[in-house]
Amino acid sequence: MPKDLFTAAQVRQLDALAIQSMAAENGYELMQRAGRSAFRALMRRWPETARLTVLCGGGNNGGDGYVVAELARRHNLQVEVFALSDPQKLQGEAAQAFASCRAAGVDVTMWSPDSSISGDIIVDAMLGTGLSGAVRDDYAAAIIAINAAGKPIIALDIPSGLCADTGMPLGATVNAAMTVTFIGMKRGLLTGEAPDYTGELVFDELDVPADIYSKIPAACRRSDFSLAVKLAPLRKPSSHKGMFGRVLVVGGDNGFGGAAIMAAEAAYRAGCGLVSCATRAAHVGAGLSRLPEVMFREINSRGELLVMLESADVIALGPGLGKEPWGQMCLQTCLDAGKPMVVDADALNMIAARKHQLSPHSLMTPHPGEVARLLECSVADVMRDRFAAARELAKTYNCHVLLKGLGTVLAAPDQEGQVVVQAGNPGMACGGMGDVLTGLAAGLLAQGMTPLAAAELAAAWHGAAADSATESVAQASLMAGDLLKQLGAVMREATV
């Protein structure tokens, strides 16, 4: 998978530049490459395929489908093609692809609600990346029909009905077993709800010259465990604990001590030199019993907390903090300290009420519900465009943002470029996961990493630990504590 991610508009620009570089009169050669790539991927995945059903729309995505149909026919597969748009109205490369397909002996029938699908595999070449509004009723009916057919679907470039920029469905959406996408990786394929629809994701740059990509600045960057671990701080043989920073975890109001304890352990696992925890008296004993390495102290007043803040390099604020007077006091005292912070959970909810800006040296780690409160919008608004939400949040609160969820989105207050981190699994949808992430990010920030780099590495380690844990427990049984048990091994794997 490439590192650079693009919007649909940018991919169209790349496509046009590629055609110019090939000194071609049109993009038919590029369309043929896309069709060949998709057909090869189809036959690799389903080598016993004998009959193909192809649904073609009225644009270039439909043209790709006609190329696949022709290739299947020339490879002696039985092929049925349904057109969602009158093929006689096709233009440019798509019209060429249709004419060549018909010349190869492929029959093309207009789709109707009564159409019967007989293929072993269905090829979705209906809508492509140009879709920006709601799916029209005729296309929606076809999408519903092929989803209900019970046959594997391979989508060309993007499942029809899915927004290439946001990863959100725009109505009825094809549920593909495989998606083969071309030229530029669309950013929406990696976040939102996209992975629910894409199935196996295959990328082919179609031999586009490498220098083409330097002419279009990527909308954002993709990261995963293999890429993010290169950011990990290195240790010299002469290292000592004073070189790796001090984290103060502030949280754990009465009844919520576990959150602060997990965050403190994660900060140490991230490589922090010294970790302290300011919490309620009821949790000090449990904390010391679980983590004797952490300095747990009872905090009842602003003055007591100020003493602990003096020696801290980074504050992990929010795990189990609560919104009662004790939590309010802790929040305001930490905000007044002006130190780099990783802010999560109840601290975010209280900041949303106060509209208090942070600093460019700090990091928020909200889930969509918390983003909605911070931006005074609905969760649906946030999910409609996670990239825009993260960017707006970073600018509004003047800090770095890690927007949790599938395809974690990172944003910085002073730049447009964003990062999407591919990590983790559905088993992480349970309480406590955010506390571990907060501790990891704080531990990395304390070691001198930039907020963006700390967020990227923390998200990657977090997800990798969850994946490692599911080797011994079912995803549905996964708990945040399971990640803490895996972190050391996951981090060691990256340095071997």
From first to last of its 496 residues, what are the pLDDT tens digits of the chain? 899 999 999 999 999 998 888 765 568 999 999 999 999 999 999 999 999 999 999 999 999 999 999 999 999 999 999 999 999 999 999 999 999 999 999 999 999 999 999 999 999 999 999 888 999 999 999 999 999 999 999 999 999 999 999 999 999 999 999 999 999 999 999 999 999 999 999 999 999 989 999 999 999 999 999 999 999 998 999 999 998 999 999 999 999 999 999 999 999 999 999 999 999 999 999 999 999 999 999 999 999 999 999 999 999 999 999 999 999 999 999 999 999 999 999 999 999 998 898 999 999 999 999 999 999 999 999 999 999 999 999 999 999 999 999 999 999 998 777 999 999 999 999 999 999 999 999 999 999 999 999 999 999 999 999 999 999 999 999 999 999 999 999 988 765 4
Contact (CB, 8 A) for 253 and 321? yes
Strand 314-317 and strand 246-250: pairing?
Answer: parallel
CA distances from 258 to 253, 434, 451 (A): 10, 12, 25
The values of phi and psi at residue 463, to 5°, are -65, -40
Contact (CB, 8 A) for 302 and 335? no
H/E segment holding residue 430: none
pTM of the model: 0.94
> Which residue, 146, 157, 224, 149, is CA-closest to 184?
157
Contact (CB, 8 A) for 63 and 31? yes
- Both tokens of 388, joined, read 């825009």
Query: One-letter amino acid identity for 168?
Result: M
Sheet with 51-56, edge to edge strand ranges: 108-110, 78-83, 51-56, 121-125, 153-156, 178-182, 200-204
Separation CA 24–CA 1 (nearest Å): 27
- Both tokens of 126, joined, read 């209906």
Chain CA centroid to CA 207, Å = 26
Separation CA 486–CA 491 (nearest Å): 9
